[in-house]
Chains A and B, each alone.
Chain A
């Protein structure tokens, strides 16, 4: 019996075919094909951006033939660099102005709306929750045109230009803030507010001392996303612009690419990419720091944002 107790010792070794076949089909093995597809997609998605960034550092005016590294299109070209071309400088300033204003206006309103909607029970609450998602699914061009019509025919005191652009950005940004903050509100539940009230905190104190600190990660994350969305926006900025000083970076890039593109266009695009990435990264890091230790309880940022995809 002692020999037979180890049947595997005498079993024939699996053939090469069996082993490779098993290696590929084993459902519990590492997901090699998925990894391959993922990396393939990442390369596909990132290569155009890398090339665009690369040519922003080109020495010559060409956007297709690489001739050496330089910062010409950022700083030292006397007329066409980002630093020295007034239209590019202005576009950069306008984009940051819109994004900053958008964050300052949309985030507080969005947080207040999220609190209201999350606490509102009864008639109308379902409808308003649904309407909140409207800007997320409305085609931007429709929204841009409608806003233009509203500002030129109904709310005529709003003239096209910076104010109209800010209002336009705020209009679609608020939904993102509401969705993110409301997601967090649902995941933290009512228990902390009840505990605060139980310990003698009035509703105001509970909001300030307990709820807002717990919402901070969601607020920071939504601010980062609003900033990134606003910086990226073309359609609404375009429809509500009145030319001149209200041209944003995406509009500038669009115009330049259609006329005589220079590597300075790539340079300004690179700056946008860098700023957007840094903003989102900063938001993510703040989120991580603030939610440290409660990762087990919920799905973290991903869980809070599961209600929609950005």
Chain B
């Protein structure tokens, strides 16, 4: 529906203007399953992000490990840092246990770790970087989003 609306005002097949409640966006496809989004913030300023679907970006930080069973959905890269969303069959406690062990093994210091039954959020710091791992139960699979932010 989002892009149906966008199609009405699109400039070309590779470049589309999309109106969203969060701001107006210009999407440019730069290749199969990837492109850039420029989004104007309602309060001023612009976000420019590269997106890539269905694969783990080649420049994904090596010190932020990924689950073996991780089906990449979407990667977003902006000036704030990279973000990756994967789907996995692993249960939430296993995801939390993986990052509790693997982040310190890669010199991250875990700052906070909160879990409820169907949701978990873990943050870790390393120098000027912060890693945020969010896991959300989506029925048969879990959606894991990892943000690596640079302060």
A and B: bona fide binding partners: no
User: Which A residues fall within an 8 A CB radius of B?
Assistant: none
User: Which B residues fall within an 8 A CB radius of A?
Assistant: none
